Amino acid sequence: MDWTLYVITDAKLSRGRSHLEVAQAAIEGGASIIQFREKEMTTRQLVETAEKIKELTEEADIPLIINDRLDVALAVNADGVHVGQDDMPAALARQLIGPHKILGVSASTVEEALQAEREGADYVSASPVFTTPTKPDAPPPTGLEGLRAIVEAVNLPVIAIGGINEENVAEVIGAGAQGVAVISAVVSAPDIAAAAHRLRETIEAARKGA
């Protein structure tokens, strides 16, 4: 798995561009994973949209992860599902998707990360690392220290999310994150592909420097 640049689609933050346009441009720019996150659509629309995104991710040979909606993930045979602390409990999600699909779990503390690991997560997203306007109801940020503590606590890849951008991404990689998940830093950019590309290059440079 290449966890480098995990792009989460969010139609509301995408300046009028659709999930599909965002996913396409993010893939062009070097996204290594796409997560489809959408809370407003009907289930029918979710399934139809996810099916179309899956065509793109399959062609690019990268995984498609569905946020929260395990029914949609199963319906389109996505590569995995990501659950937050308000979503399906991780152990139940693992049981329903089986052993082969990717299960990601958001964790804002070491305790949540350890629980996610016990319950069958394939990766943990340390969330949020920095304060972010994208999720006003998010838990307090972990900061770089909290991220490092989670990285040290679990035997899973840790993806950092929340307020990460070109300026701070090197520190996040330095703290041990296997990759970075972004929403606004990529999907709100005027040129999504270019933003993804620059972020990916910065991450790869940080890895070499580390």
The binding site for its own copies (CB under 8 A) comprises 42-45, 47, 68-71, 74-75, 83, 85-89, 92, 96
Rank residues 82 and 197 by Cβ distance to its own copies and give the closer one.
82
Could you say which of 106, 108, 125, 188 is catalytic?
106
Is residue 208 annotated as part of the catalytic site, yes or no? no
Alpha helix segments (H runs only) across the chain = 19-28, 43-60, 70-75, 90-97, 110-118, 143-153, 169-174, 184-187, 192-209
Cα torsion for 46, 47, 52, 58, to the nearest 10°?
120
Rank residues 94 and 197 by Cβ distance to its own copies and give the closer one.
94
Is residue 101 annotated as part of the catalytic site, yes or no? no
Is residue 106 annotated as part of the catalytic site, yes or no? yes
Q: How far is CA 181 from each of CA 74, 99, 136, 200, rounded to the nearest angstrom?
A: 23, 23, 17, 11
Rank residues 44 and 208 by Cβ distance to its own copies and give the closer one.
44
Tokens of 173: 């990689």
Q: Return the exposure string of 170-195: e unless at least 16 CB atoms fall within 10 Å of the residue's CB, then b.
A: bbbbebbbbbbbbbbbbbbbeebbeb
Least separation in angstroms between CB 113 and its own copies: 18
Rank residues 86 and 167 by Cβ distance to its own copies and give the closer one.
86
Least separation in angstroms between CB 43 and its own copies: 4
Could you say which of 17, 18, 52, 135 is catalytic?
135
Cite the active site residues. Answer: 37, 106, 135
